[in-house]
A and B are shown apart, each in its own frame.
Chain A
């Protein structure tokens, strides 16, 4: 498998505060990779750094062998990376259709019909709600829309930031099922940031654990699931 995305020794700062310390991570084509960690570990920062805001202070990010560390977010998006940001961030006063159109704008609506069919197959609820305002959707539907919107540009690599946030277990299952289906059927590569370690580790081929801006562990999903320190920190007691 070829390496799609690679981070080498990335450090990111918010003013004087260092959020990421020498983070190195790799995503191979066709993989689901998950990044787990507690609140404030720097998971979302890592995601945003890949997309160019905030910028990495040191280190290198390559995508398909190309250095993207200094590119603007819209240039990065054009290369085939799509992001579903934390907290869904759909456009509430625009219709579901308009939201999806916004997702396809970066590639000038290439493959729009095909991706729309894919999204409808994946999330039938999106088709039902197509003409509605996005703000009237339920939380789960909004999360589906956020993922669907990111898919509209037909990305090679999908970055998902906490898709399970604030959702009922049944809905989480549905969404994780859709991610697995996407990966199997279309070969989409996924980098999934999650606090919900149990489900994320079951879904992922490989996983990284981020603690206070440092990667402390990595391995296959089942491997990490079996580790006692992971069980103690993320799976039992509270989560």
Chain B
């Protein structure tokens, strides 16, 4: 009985705070009367409804938390495990054939391109945050370096996308190391603040160095990628894909081509990450995340290990940036705000830091859902926000919150992260 009272009390206090927050937003309404004067109206019904909703949701949440068996999370992940073996290949097959399916509108392929870009960014950042445990809030800096490298090289030296792609990655990796040096001694919050500043510095330099970057006006007419030297054009002719293969030109072809480029780049990122995790370097990254002092005691070169994590993570950011520039054909500093870093970090964290598949799911939710909900207009972000809150309540450590040892003798035990957090692990 006291349990029920406790829950009601808790829900009551939450509802009280909701009342305080909602009162100015929902409770009053500014209008004007016919004479043109402003009036202040009250909307008590709406306010009461919103507060009642919060109260009810809180009660339900508490009830759900009470009745959730402690082992449920472990059971759930055990049940998901055999399924998990098929999810990744199934998703891969779907990603491979999606643009070829009949009746898929071009805008969905375009959405796929966008989601894959963020998956790639997420996988790249995952090396720094998920594996090496270095909280980087300025990842967008490397995305920008990659994009501007390509745009400037194409503009000033007439280089093509395929020539610039490795250069963009290389330059971004150099910047990753360059920015990594000063933060070698920093950890946690302090590292986050400094990397956040780096992201802003890069953006401000791009904005203000007008003679080189065009400043806020950005760079236009960035060339499209070619298929072995063939262009995608609206009219068939020599040197175009449509002309050589004798097909009717269609915008679909270009979008599908972009789709497969980013899919390939993302898969390379994933493959490299998975390979590295089994190598001494990847293992050292993970050990660094677990315990830096222990790494030092074991004779690991902590400085080089951190710098390679920054460099390789930045390299993939640079590749993604290069692709972003060629996809849009136009870049400006507006595309590289802190919001981008935050979105990518949210994808990594929401996916369950360290999990490759989790990042795919999180990218679909974070990028796909707001796009899908566009028909809901003004309620879009509201639903999105509620969805994120619900996810964090149900899966507080991300979608896939467990990590199986990378190498094992076939009897690896998966331990739910919930147990570790409770000190049982």
Measured CB to CB, the residues of A under 8 A from B are 51, 53, 72-74, 76-78, 82-85, 89-95, 97-98, 101-103, 105-106, 130-133, 135-136, 149-150, 153
Measured CB to CB, the residues of B under 8 A from A are 280, 283-284, 286-287, 290-291, 293-302, 403, 405-413, 415, 420, 425
Asked whether, in the complex, the Cβ of B298 is within 8 Å of the Cβ of A149, the reply is yes
A and B contact pairs by CB, cutoff 8 A, 11 listed: A73-B296, A77-B297, A77-B298, A89-B293, A90-B291, A92-B425, A95-B408, A97-B408, A133-B413, A133-B425, A136-B425
The contact of B299 among A77, A94, A130, by CB within 8 Å, is A77
Docked Cα-Cα span, A106 to B284, in Å, equals 11
| Chain B proximity of A146: nearest CB distance (Å) | 8
Docked Cα-Cα span, A136 to B410, in Å, equals 17
Docked Cα-Cα span, A136 to B419, in Å, equals 10
Asked whether, in the complex, the Cβ of B290 is within 8 Å of the Cβ of A73, the reply is no
| Chain B proximity of A167: nearest CB distance (Å) | 17
Closest partner residue, chain A, to B412 (CB atom): A131
Contacts of A136 in B (CB 8 A): 413, 415, 425
Asked whether, in the complex, the Cβ of B420 is within 8 Å of the Cβ of A135, the reply is yes
The contact of A153 among B299, B407, B408, B412, by CB within 8 Å, is B299
The contact of B294 among A90, A95, A153, by CB within 8 Å, is A90
| Chain B proximity of A238: nearest CB distance (Å) | 28
Docked Cα-Cα span, A150 to B298, in Å, equals 7
Contacts of B406 in A (CB 8 A): 95, 98
Docked Cα-Cα span, A74 to B305, in Å, equals 12
Contacts of B410 in A (CB 8 A): 131
| Chain B proximity of A51: nearest CB distance (Å) | 7
Closest partner residue, chain A, to B411 (CB atom): A131
Given that A98-B283, A135-B420 are contacting pairs, would A93 and B290 also be in contact in the complex, using a CB cutoff of 8 Å? Answer: yes
Closest partner residue, chain B, to A91 (CB atom): B290
Docked Cα-Cα span, A103 to B410, in Å, equals 22
Asked whether, in the complex, the Cβ of B420 is within 8 Å of the Cβ of A92, the reply is yes
Contacts of A135 in B (CB 8 A): 415, 420, 425
The contact of B409 among A84, A85, A92, A130, by CB within 8 Å, is A130
Asked whether, in the complex, the Cβ of A98 is within 8 Å of the Cβ of B420, the reply is no
Given that A94-B286, A95-B407, A135-B425 are contacting pairs, would A89 and B299 also be in contact in the complex, using a CB cutoff of 8 Å? Answer: no
The 3 residue pairs across chains A and B that have the minimum distance between CB atoms = A77-B299, A95-B405, A106-B299
Docked Cα-Cα span, A92 to B411, in Å, equals 18
| Chain B proximity of A54: nearest CB distance (Å) | 12
Asked whether, in the complex, the Cβ of B284 is within 8 Å of the Cβ of A102, the reply is yes
| Chain A proximity of B114: nearest CB distance (Å) | 32
Contacts of A51 in B (CB 8 A): 296-297
| Chain B proximity of A178: nearest CB distance (Å) | 19
Closest partner residue, chain A, to B294 (CB atom): A89
Closest partner residue, chain A, to B286 (CB atom): A94
Contacts of A149 in B (CB 8 A): 298
8 further A-B contacts with Cβ under 8 Å, apart from A77-B297, A102-B284, A106-B299, are: A74-B300, A89-B291, A89-B297, A97-B408, A101-B280, A105-B300, A130-B409, A132-B413
Contacts of A102 in B (CB 8 A): 283-284, 287, 295, 298, 300
The contact of A103 among B293, B298, B420, by CB within 8 Å, is B298
Asked whether, in the complex, the Cβ of B283 is within 8 Å of the Cβ of A97, the reply is no
Asked whether, in the complex, the Cβ of B405 is within 8 Å of the Cβ of A91, the reply is no
The contact of A131 among B283, B284, B300, B413, by CB within 8 Å, is B413
Asked whether, in the complex, the Cβ of B405 is within 8 Å of the Cβ of A101, the reply is no
Contacts of A98 in B (CB 8 A): 283, 286-287, 405-407
Docked Cα-Cα span, A72 to B299, in Å, equals 9
Asked whether, in the complex, the Cβ of A74 is within 8 Å of the Cβ of B405, the reply is no
Contacts of A53 in B (CB 8 A): 296
Asked whether, in the complex, the Cβ of A106 is within 8 Å of the Cβ of B297, the reply is no
Asked whether, in the complex, the Cβ of B294 is within 8 Å of the Cβ of A85, the reply is yes
| Chain A proximity of B404: nearest CB distance (Å) | 9
The contact of A97 among B286, B301, B405, by CB within 8 Å, is B405
Given that A91-B294, A92-B420, A131-B409 are contacting pairs, would A73 and B415 also be in contact in the complex, using a CB cutoff of 8 Å? Answer: no
Given that A91-B287, A94-B290, A95-B408 are contacting pairs, would A105 and B298 also be in contact in the complex, using a CB cutoff of 8 Å? Answer: yes
Closest partner residue, chain B, to A108 (CB atom): B280
Contacts of B298 in A (CB 8 A): 77, 82-83, 102-103, 105-106, 149-150, 153
Asked whether, in the complex, the Cβ of B287 is within 8 Å of the Cβ of A73, the reply is no
Contacts of A84 in B (CB 8 A): 297
Contacts of A91 in B (CB 8 A): 286-287, 290-291, 294
| Chain A proximity of B150: nearest CB distance (Å) | 37
Contacts of B296 in A (CB 8 A): 51, 53, 73-74
Docked Cα-Cα span, A73 to B280, in Å, equals 18
- In this complex, the member of B403, B408, B409, B420 whose beta carbon has the largest number of chain A beta carbons within 10 angstroms is B408
